[in-house]
Amino acid sequence: MEKKTTPIAKVDDLVIHYETRDGVVEAVNGVSFEILPADTFGLVGETGAGKTTIALAMMGLLPYPPTHIIRGKVEIDGEDIAKKSKNDMRAIRGKKVSMIFQDPMTALNPVVGIGDQIAEVILLHERCTKEEAQKKALDMLQMVGIRPERYKDYPHQLSGGMKQRVVIAIALACNPELLIADEPTTALDVTIQAQVLDMIKDLRDRFGTALMLITHDLGIVADICNKCAVVYAGEIVEIGTVEDIFDRPQHPYTLGLFASIPSLDKDVERLQPVKGQIIDPTDLPPYCSFCDRCDRCTEQCRAADPKLVEVSPGHFVKCIFARKEAD
């Protein structure tokens, strides 16, 4: 096991609800995890599982209203962010924790030059003059592989992949301790996905930044993460090291996700999807929320909501069928 250090980010029993016209959306229901300085933590789940909500909560960027943090807390560097003032939070965002958003097409301000958008975050967090910030922004541009003469270009003059590079440059400009990447490659072309991912990996290693990667692509998780959590209906159903999850998965949902991945060496007619639809988050049952889609579901599953069970050190599964690993 790696040596214990204080976590950069700790999410503790977080419960978040949205109030909508159709009722209360229970987006996040008691999620806990922590990210250590050397971690690359993958958060995997279907669309609507609550992954982005968790990330926004960690940034203190949940839109309020309609979001309400019902219970639990987020700690950054050991301090509860709910107790921070607005100014203190601004000092954390972009400096200690920064975020790459899903859609690079809309994440940049269309009327501000890309270089100045990078310089903006530097100017906010570092004691420097405008010229120094612009110079550093120029360096960041080159670091993400964009030629310096494009400093004055506007977002519409860039391709999708280049825009995402700019977003990454903004996120890394102040050398954050934790980088949250919310599906950084989903909106991109497959060939560009690999480039962007390699770049994130490379920069993570160079800056020594902890990374939280939100994705629904298990391949990406296997590629760059050391820990990961599988999220279903706002709950972590399985969490552990990448080896735990990929080599010894136990939760039926995790197993279902693996079964739905196409394999190179097997020739199958149809892929095996996880059957059914993701459960309606305005109407969660008091028992295991995966019941309706689970092949192994029994009477006992519908009796009570299972707890996370530690099946081996650091590997937790939220299922009544979870068994201690033999070794």
Tell me which residues touch other proteins (CB under 8 A): 59, 61, 86, 89-95, 98-99, 101, 103, 106-113, 120-121, 124-125, 154, 156, 167, 170-171
3-state secondary structure of 119: helix
Of 95 and 248, the one with the shorter C-beta distance to other proteins is 95
User: What is the enclosing helix (H) or strand (E) of 19?
Assistant: strand 9-20
Running DSSP on this structure, what letter comes out for residue 71? E
Of 124 and 291, the one with the shorter C-beta distance to other proteins is 124
**Cβ neighbours around 165 below 10 Å, total:** 24
| Strand partners for 309 | 317
CA–CA dist 207, 21 (Å, integer): 44
3-state secondary structure of 154: coil
CA–CA dist 35, 219 (Å, integer): 21
Sign, CA dihedral 141-146-147-152, equals negative
Of 211 and 257, the one with the shorter C-beta distance to other proteins is 211
Of 6 and 157, the one with the shorter C-beta distance to other proteins is 157
| Min separation Cβ 228 and other proteins, Å | 23
| Phi and psi torsions of 216, nearest 5° | -115, 15
Q: Which residues contact 255 (CB under 8 A, 6 or more apart)?
A: 249
